Amino acid sequence: MRETTNPSLISPEAVCSIPQLVRNRLDRDPSATFVERKSGLGTSWTPMSVQAFAEEAAAVAKGLVALGVEPGERVSIMSRTRYEWTLLDFAIWAAGAVPVPVYETSSADQVEWILSDADVRLAVVETSAHATVTESVRARVPALGPVLVLEDGAIGELVEKGARVDDAEIARRSALAGPDDLATIIYTSGTTGRPKGAELTHGNFTSLTQEGALGLYDVCAAPGTRTLLFMPLAHVFARFIEVLCMTTGAVLGHTPDTRNLVADLGTFQPTFILSVPRVFEKLYNSAEQKAGAGAKLKLFRWAAKTAIVYSRALDTAEGPTAALKAQHALADRLVLHKVHHALGGRVTYAISGGAPLGERLGHFYRGVGVRVLEGYGLTETTAPTAVNLPDRPVKIGTVGPAFPGASLRIADDGEIQVKGAHVFRGYHANPEATAEAFDDGWFRTGDLGALDDDGYLTITGRKKEIIVTAGGKNVAPALLEDRLRGHPLVSQVVVVGDGRPFIGALVTLDADMLPGWLAAHGLPEMDVRSASKSHAVLAALDRAVARANEAVSRAESIRKIRVLTTDFTVENAYLTPSLKVRRDAVLRDFADEVDALYAS
């Protein structure tokens, strides 16, 4: 087995509870800004100090106490990403209780499972629609008490109800938890089966965020750093970030709707952003589409190629030549600065996780002036367990070395295994699954990867997703899917071929990008159904497949594709809330389409 460890940057005594982390921050700089709240779409942001935030969290915590929430009991939150979620998280911790996140897109069945399995005592939801879903399962969630609605004034109601609760009670409860006590239960948005509740401790969060404050100092702890959170706060990555900002001093903002993202980035002006590769792909494809056709499109593609070539030259011993530097400066003046402006104009770092970003996009964004630090983590590792670090060479195409304080090893079958203070303590009420998840103290991720001589990790696929063709060839679909999904026309890809004579793929079209692509190529307007049969569209997809196949051997290459007229979305349950394809559901419901690939 190949193994690597990145030594811890903190002392064991620094690991504490999250409420203690807040007290530490209050002792350091109570008047510093912790969060900025949006006062309107694309307008201004109102700063809120650490002291003011802590006082509001304590007032909300009193309301939870008044409603009968006891230390250790569970409180669920079902909402989009907004300030009130972060407020509730810290209030629940201050009350000694345990927040349980619920994706706002969850079905009644999913809500029932999470609330019943976690034994939720009180639920806070964003909208009346969320309340209706939650109330519909009340009969099967025996512990459930009040359901409070944010849009109906839940925060004000909690503050009012808690007005008579003594400050000393919140101080007492805030001091109850230690590093080994439960901080949250996050239900994995798994692509198969019922979600499992990962139990994360206070020490998981506080050790990881303090390691991050030092290991990612230039990104998130240097003076003036700020980030706009638009990932779902039901996801572990976003929860990690809100605690990280409390630890480091970075200013936090929230935006609930990615449709307004560009406007909000422009007014908030973050210095670092966090997202999944699909968002970076969309930003690139949108910029290309806005360039239009003809000379302008040629100019954009020249500038994009220049950015990529310039970035690649940065990794050579000689660096970019004087001629390339001049060409890059011209490309920046004509095109690239507009892409940087779309990210708010001040972004210097972006952290990408959740799926492979791809070398081309990594180099493009670095050529634009944004260092993309690709990382890797899971719910069970409290988010990052490996990441390209700002003080080390960035190896684009890898997810970097182990995070400070983490150890990685590659098992004999290629599985990535993890150890460290950030690894969860087990699955809630599921000792069998917990036992299966560990191998001699190492967490078994289920992902496949490799470590290079410098300890940088590359993800190659999922153990459960390996395809074995009829000829016995093992194929990891992720690389092909990620490369093909980078085409502007493509929304989602599922590579198939298990037990079949060759590799094929199911492809869905991006309805948002389709009109612009058709116009840029001088083609008439058409809907997705018509486009799926268009010779021009299919020819473009065939060329995209050929480019994707350049990364693999012939035996692993995609020979045929089938274009579906139904996209995979969270709403139709073909994507998880973290935008991963539910492969089993797709293969089940589109079995006839798969068969058609191999019919002739």
Give tens-digit pLDDT for 124-147: 999 999 999 999 999 999 999 999
pLDDT at residue number 474: 87
pLDDT at residue number 600: 67
- 10 Å CB burial of residue 368 (0-12, 13-18, 19+) is buried
pLDDT at residue number 578: 80
Tell me the β-bridge partners of 419. Answer: 407
Per run of 10 residues, the mean pLDDT along the chain (length 600 residues) is 96 97 98 92 86 98 98 98 98 98 93 97 98 97 97 98 98 98 90 83 98 98 97 95 98 90 92 91 89 90 96 95 97 96 96 85 96 96 97 94 98 97 98 97 96 96 90 88 92 95 96 92 95 97 95 92 96 88 93 91
CB atoms within 10 A of CB 550: 8
In angstroms, the CA 491 to CA 493 distance is 7
Lay out the sheet containing 490-496: strands in order across. 490-496, 503-509, 558-564
Q: Which residues contact 358 (CB under 8 A, 6 or more apart)?
A: 277, 397, 482, 483, 486
pLDDT at residue number 213: 98
| Plot region of 426 (φ>0 → left; ψ -120 to 50 → alpha; else → beta) | left
pLDDT at residue number 311: 97
Domains of the chain: 10-202+234-245 (3.40.50.12780), 275-345+347-463 (3.40.50.12780), 466-597 (3.30.300.30)
pLDDT at residue number 579: 84
Q: What is the separation of C-alpha 470 from the centre of its chain, rounded to a whole number of angstroms?
A: 35
Q: Which residues contact 296 (CB under 8 A, 6 or more apart)?
A: none
| Plot region of 268 (φ>0 → left; ψ -120 to 50 → alpha; else → beta) | alpha
Give tens-digit pLDDT for 495-510: 999 999 999 999 999 9
pLDDT at residue number 359: 87
In angstroms, the CA 379 to CA 352 distance is 15
pLDDT at residue number 354: 80
